[in-house]
Amino acid sequence: MSSAAISAQPIPSLLTIIITTSPTPSAPSTELVSTILSSFRNHCTALLLCRVIVVFDTYDRIASHARLKKGQVTTEGAKTFELYKKNVTELVLREFAPHDNERIISYDQGKAEFGYAGVDSNFVPFSISRTVDKRITFVAPSKRLGFGLAVRSALRLIETPFVWVQQHDWSLVSDIPLQSLLNVMRATQDDERSPVKYICLPSIRLLSYADSAHVVRFPELRGLTSDLKQEFVTESGESLPLTPMFFWHDKPHLASTQHYLSRIFPSRLSIPRGAFIEDTVGQRARNQMKQGDWLKWATWLYYPENGQRLCLRHLQGRTWEGSEKELAKKAIWRDQNAEKVHKSSE
């Protein structure tokens, strides 16, 4: 593909955003998702022009204590999650479809299969509601999918060649050169040595990744980094730093839609219900990469300032209770400490 052809297509025709969300202590507040959208506006406005699919993953059971990673919520958590879904739906519609005539909704059904075929219980039905122009889609499963099946269900609805996968508690903190990232992915799609099929964004634990123990302890990974770490030059002359990534992270990333489906989800047996990609396919991928089999995964890390610039901040969605509740807790702690100080001075 020529440089002119690569740069000709606008980003919204190339990219769809998947936002996965689930029960969270901050519900029914939309602060988590609002923070993400605000970070898009501040650091990568083109994302707000793209199609978006929001997956409302749900819970498995109601119990006396919440264990969100295990799909367990309290009775109150189940109630607030229903209101949370309504609030997030309204928020996303306002952000991505600001005009009333863009919010006409059509409805459909789908199902997420897993495990062995022929077992009646090995699928989860989900409802699909989308705007007529398919700019916005909401997916609501009847049972918990887990991150892996949530992403796969959304990927099957995508019509663009690339996808941005966004968990609900990671926000951008640095500008992202999205056009250049996409241009490099398109320009290298047939490269037999260093194709770029997946690009993760650096979080605090991924700074200086190329020189970290995750890489240098393994001869194959050291060699691959030495051979492949580079500054890709786009057709506009912009330099884009990437280093090979030896894992498939769940945190925000950009990827080829086809590569995602064929590599991570080649069959319904790939990931069980309730599982994360990192904990399943991600681990198998890393073990293969340690043996030098990186090319089939083609995973990279965006590496600005030689790995020193942070791009993501974790919002701790499983524990953060929202600004109001956090302020109320601080006020209680402050009062308790003041009371202790007063008693000790008597």
* Under 8 Å between Cβ of 262 and 254: no
- Residue 12 domain flag: yes
Q: Using only the alpha carbons of the chain, give its radius of gyration.
A: 22
- Residue 329 domain flag: no
pLDDT band at residue 3 using 50, 70 and 90 as cut-offs = very low
Which element (helix H / strand E) includes 140?
A: strand 136-141
CATH assignment of the domain containing 189: 3.90.550.10
Q: List the domain range (segments joined by +) for residue 16.
A: 3-315
Per-residue pLDDT reduced to its tens digit, 56-76: 999 999 998 889 888 899 999
pLDDT band at residue 2 using 50, 70 and 90 as cut-offs = very low
Relative to beta strand 136-141, strand 123-131 is antiparallel
pTM of the full predicted structure? Answer: 0.92
The answer on pLDDT for 112 being more than 70 is yes
Residue 286 neighbours by CB distance under 10 Å: 19
Rounded to whole angstroms, the Cα distance separating 248 from 251 reads 9
- Residue 330 domain flag: no
pLDDT band at residue 86 using 50, 70 and 90 as cut-offs = very high
- Residue 284 domain flag: yes
pLDDT band at residue 1 using 50, 70 and 90 as cut-offs = very low
- Residue 154 domain flag: yes
Per-residue pLDDT reduced to its tens digit, 293-341: 999 999 999 999 999 999 999 998 788 887 766 555 555 556 557 566 6
Per-residue pLDDT reduced to its tens digit, 166-201: 999 999 999 999 999 999 999 999 999 999 999 999
- Residue 182 domain flag: yes
Over range 149-162, report the average pLDDT: 98
Which parts of 9-132 are beta strand (E)? 15-21, 51-56, 61-62, 72-73, 105-113, 123-131
The answer on pLDDT for 254 being more than 70 is yes
